[in-house]
Structure 1
């Protein structure tokens, strides 16, 4: 009797395994999108990224170098809205996933943005500034104090103690529809520090539209996990918000001398 049951179980197991093999494989994660700056700012580069016409500035301060982009920030520079800055600095553009045929990324419930950044040894963090992140909704409605049915998760460095006091505190600078008006919210300030060591560092943010969870990894190590963004479940991912400048909106945010930073190896994928 024991032998009969054992054979029957083995037969059932064989049927189950056979059925599993016959079933189609479950859908795999979407293929990652990747972008470089080899042809910046040619039309071929713009098409690769799906660059949006609105919200651009500073392309004359950005130059492609071996697939990376070098960005210049002038002494005392800040946001383009600065009225007392002695110079200009930084650059910005929005990408559009649907424009490059990646509606699957736009409709994803969670996405990871990964890229590398390098601050040279002579970098001056000043008081603070912006770094690229993700966004959803219409360009321009989640940045610069402007609010709409949109959101953004740019990185920032901050140093309220002024130039040279310490390596800058890292954070995610969040805009979302729950904020009403005013400027963005600092999420996870001081969870890590950016380093001016002339080395490439890999930074990654994962944004979950359903839970509002933001996870940050720096050089492969998790440094932040926080429910940091609200009311974005119904607002699809739009693309990358490449935004980098000192500020704030006044020269006090800017560096004490001209500086450069480099960015490369951008990739967007589903977790």
Structure 2
């Protein structure tokens, strides 16, 4: 009898172990989320990214190319709100971690967004422009001069004027609930320069909701570490704010000719 019970117990244990192994893997914040632009802007791509309807524009100026996305910016273009621009440029959408099946990332205390960007050698930086970053809260409540219980940390390039001017100064363009009105705040302006050399460059930002700390690295080298954002501890990560255009809201921000830039290999991880 003892031997019989032993065999039965072993059999039951085997069934339990088999069932556990057969369970589908559940993503956790320790697992990276990766996004490319295969099938852009099709339904499968949209579902993988968890793209929301609010705040989208410029998909007719964006095209998928071998997993990357090429973005067109017309001469003198700026934000969609521009009244005097001779052409249009750039594109934008909000992703949602929860809609993409990664609610664990939304609840993380700190996240790192990494992607690659390429500016061709004939790129014209104009006066300045936006690049993708992270955001929290409702889409549209932390950008374009709109403020709410939300935040965003898009990158920007800036073209300084005057003596000692440098083209393509990098910064993090921050919106957070501590700002009463107006537009965003420049954090770390000039800590690095964007390169127009027709090469892929890896950019990364880490945002800590508890401390407000923002860390930036370019091609693996840390270039910024600053407590640059406030009052976001209770506002979960929402997703990626893919936002790129010249501006500002006037044609003076735009390039002197039509230009293109490319983006690829998006990844979100816990640092």
TM class by shorter chain equals: 0.7 to 0.9
Tell me, what secondary structure is at the counterpart of 1:224? strand
Partner of 1:47: 47
- Give a deviation string over 1:109-131, Cα, whole Å, max 9, x none: 00000000000000000000000
Match of 1:44, SS state, is helix
1:245 corresponding residue in structure 2: 245
3-state SS of paired residue (1:179): coil
Contact 2:204 2:218 (8 Å CA) reproduced: yes
* Partners of 1:146 and 1:181 within 8 A in 2: yes
- Kindly indicate whether the alpha-carbon contact (under 8 Å) linking 1:213 and 1:228 is maintained by their aligned counterparts in 2: yes
Contact 1:167–1:196 (CA under 8 A) maintained in structure 2: no
Structure 2 Cα separation of the partners of residues 70 and 167 of structure 1: 22
1:29 Cα deviation (Å)?
Answer: 5.3
What is the TM-score with the length of structure 2 in the denominator?
A: 0.88
Cα shift at 1:100: 1.2
**CA positional deviation for 1:38:** 1.1
For residues 87-140 of structure 1, what are the alpha-carbon distances to aligned partners after superposition, in whole Å with 9 as ceiling and x for unaligned? Answer: 000000000000011111000000000000000000000000000000000000
Contact 1:204 1:217 in 2 (8 A): yes
SS in 1 for 2:117: strand
Q: Counterpart in 2 of 1:103? A: 103
2: CA distance, partners of 1:265 / 1:75: 27
| Aligned counterpart, 1:146 | 146
| Aligned 1:195-214 pairs, distance under 5 A | 195-214=195-214
Name structure 2 gaps, 5 residues minimum.
1-27
In the alignment, structure 1 residue 58 sits paired with structure 2 residue 58: yes
Check whether the contact 1:113–1:206 (CA below 8 A) recurs between aligned residues: yes
Equivalent residue, structure 1, for 2:215: 215
Which secondary structure does the structure 1 equivalent of 2:99 belong to?
Answer: helix
What is the alpha-carbon distance in structure 2 between the residues aligned to residue 100 and residue 123 of structure 1?
Answer: 33
Q: Which runs of 4+ in 1 moved over 3 A?
A: none
2:172 corresponds in structure 1 to: 172
Matches of 1:255 and 1:246, distance apart in 2: 8
Gaps in structure 1 of 5+ consecutive residues: 1-27
Q: Counterpart of 2:47 in 1: which secondary structure?
A: helix
CA distance in 2, matches of 1:98, 1:71: 26
2:168 and 2:227 map into 1 onto residues whose CA distance is 23
Distance 1:225 1:56 in 2: 31
Deviation string, structure 1 residues 182-225 (Cα, Å, up to 9, x no partner): 00000000000000000000000000000000000000000000
Is 1:87 the counterpart of 2:87? The answer is: yes
The 1-side partners of 2:224 and 2:190 are apart by 10
2-side partners of 1:215 and 1:194: how far apart? 16
Cross-structure match for 1:230: 230
Partner in structure 1 of residue 74 of structure 2:
74
CA contact (8 A) 2:160 2:167 kept: no
Give 1:166 shift.
Answer: 4.0
Asked whether the 8 Å contact 1:167–1:195 carries over to 2, the reply is: no
